[in-house]
Structures are given as structure tokens and as C-alpha cells.
Amino acid sequence: MTDKIRIRVSTDGKSPQWELMVNGHKVCDLTYTELLEHCLQATSSLRWITEQKR
């Protein structure tokens, strides 16, 4: 899998807006809760990397 997944943050001067980007193309807008869920899933998956290196 060579897709690059990113979260782009922009602001209108008052509040941030988050967008899910795949290979430079906007897929959808994210709410704060959805953003937090993605971050927690990514952080949780890092434990498998450290367990495989043991």
C-alpha cells in the first residue's frame, strides 16, 4: 500500500477545520471527535511495531 493519508488543517480565523486527504485529494471533512478517533487508532497501532521488534 503506497497511499499517503494526511490530515490537513485550515482555519477561517476563528475555528480550525480538518480534512482527510488521500494522495493529495480531499476525501471528507472531519469533526474534532473523528480526528481524535483517528489519532487514537494510529497511536494504538504503533504498539505492534514495537512488539515485532522484540
pLDDT for position 49: 76
Q: Hey, which bits of the chain come out as E strands?
A: 5-11, 16-22, 25-30
Phi-psi map region of 7: left, alpha, beta (phi>0 left; psi -120 to 50 alpha): beta
Residue 45 has pLDDT above 70, yes or no: yes
Contact 28, 20 (CB under 8 A): yes
Mean pLDDT of 34-38: 94
pTM, rounded to two decimals: 0.71
